[in-house]
Amino acid sequence: MHMKYGVDEHGYYGDFGGAYIPEMLYPNIEALRAQYLKVLDDDDFKAEYDQLLKDYVGRPSPLYHAKRYSEKYGANIFFKREDLNHTGSHKINNAIGQILLAERLGKKRIIAETGAGQHGVATATVCALKGLECVVYMGEIDMERQAPNVARMKMLGAKVVPATSGSKTLKDATNEALRDWIGNPEDTHYIIGSAVGPYPYPEMVAKFQSIISFEAKKQLLEQTGSELPQYVLACVGGGSNAIGMFYNFLDDETVKLIAVEAAGKGVETGHSAATTSLGKEGVLHGTRTILMQTDDGQVVEPYSISAGLDYPGIGPQHAHLFKVNRAEYVSATDDEALNAGLLACQLEGIIPAIESAHALAHLEKMTFNPGDNVVICLSGRGDKDLDTYIKHFGY
């Protein structure tokens, strides 16, 4: 385990983490923690998880050497193709892990929150796979923005409940899911989609997503002769693909880790989701972390064109990596991300999710030495974002 950057027995990463939950959730969180620690060493669990990832998700996802990108930027650029997973993003890795846990906890009903709908779709998918009831909370505004994903979840048998409180987006969907769980503690498991929430969620989600960097290391060794690249990049909202992409490189201090947040219309415009630039330490959704808030401690609604990065906080491990400078946190604006998405279409024939395009956008701001190896997590595919791309570029 990562002694330096990992979690302690109370669920903390340095100053961040913990489980700031109302007493109503304590038995659930405690049972989940115990079961999670148990399955970590359980061969049956591992075997089932590995097999589903292989046969159902289609792992390992390719590590693709993007030659035209490499020419353009003067380094060896690799895309870790999470966009090729079943359901179209990295979210399925965690949903598979958690549904197997839920089964072992004897839970019959699954709830989830979703922003862009990718995690909702992944959760609805694994519930269909296991024949479990599925309820997905989604902000009323996001339901309009991501209508095709709402229909997809319904087709998969999930009930999609609009979150109508507060700002009617991801943070409110998360609140509603937590309220549901408080009222249904015995039969329900809450599959959180990002590396946020009370311990053990951030650790568990990171672990289930760590398959990304586990594979990338092996693939790099095959393709470059070294498992360690110079740079690893990923976009970060709550931070699940980023923590999965960083996980197995954390202790290799020569590898520079770069997390790209959504700057929205610009960090200082008041329409941004660049949490590390704009946030302060506090508590959100059960974890001590960095979040965007007023001086009075009220959570500020973030903005990004990408619904998946539109979250006012970051996972506690990211907050720690930021604070101790193990990873660099930068940002890309809506326009920079859209342009980067279009570039990936034109140079590599890949339409990335706008979330992932934020990571690609940062390449423009970097300078490389010849021979540098750079891995970027292409966390999802852009089908869900076609409307936005088409409107923006006028195709």
Partner 1 sequence: MNRLQTLFANKKNNLLSIYFTAGYPELNTTLDIAVALEQSGADFLEIGFPYSDPVADGPTIQQSSEKALENGMTLNVLFEQLKQLRERVTIPVLLMGYINPIVQYGIERFCKKAAEVGVDGVIVPDLPIYEYEKLYADTFKQNNLSNIFLVTPNTSEERIRKIDRLSNSFIYLLSSSSITGSTLNVSTSIEDYYKRIKAMELDNPTIIGFGISNNASYNKACEYANGAIVGSAFVKHLATDNHLQTIPDFINNIRPKL
Residue of 73, 126, 111 lying closest to 348 (CA atoms): 73
**Cβ 339 vs Cβ 271: under 8 Å:** no
CB of 161 to partner 1, least distance (A): 14
- Cα–Cα distance measured from residue 184 to residue 109, given in angstroms and rounded to the nearest whole number: 9
Cβ proximity of 206 and 247 under 8 Å? yes
Q: How many residues bind partner 1 (CB under 8 A)?
A: 35
Distance CA 206, CA 358 (A): 20
Helix axes 91-104, 118-130, angle to 10 degrees: 40
In whole angstroms, the minimum distance from the beta carbon of 54 to partner 1 comes to 37
Binding-residue pattern over the window 125 to 164 for partner 1, x denoting contact by CB under 8 A: ----------------------------------------
Q: State which H helix or E strand residue 183 sits in.
A: helix 170-183
Q: Are 232 and 321 in contact (CB under 8 A)?
A: no
- Window 172-191: contact mask with partner 1 (x via CB under 8 A): x--x--xx--xx-xx-----
Is 237 near partner 1 (CB under 8 A)?
no
Q: Is 91 a catalytic residue?
A: yes
Phi, psi (degrees; rounded to nearest 5) at 359: -65, -45
Closest to partner 1 by CB, 148 or 297 = 297
With CB under 8 A as the contact rule, the residue among 22, 225, 349, 394 that binds partner 1 is 22
**Is residue 376 a contact residue for partner 1 (CB under 8 A)?**
no
Active-site residue, 113 included: yes
Based on the shown chain and the rule CB under 8 A, indicate whether residue 14 belongs to the binding site for partner 1: no
Instruction: Give the nearer residue to partner 1 in terms of CB position, either 283 or 342.
Output: 283
- Give the distance between the most distant pair of CA atoms in the chain: 57
Residue 390 CA to chain centroid, in angstroms?
Answer: 25
**29 or 127: CB nearest partner 1:** 29
Catalytic machinery residues: 91, 113, 379
Applying CB under 8 A, the residues found at the interface with partner 1 are 10, 18-24, 26-27, 165-166, 171-172, 175, 178-179, 182-183, 185-186, 280-286, 291, 293, 295-299
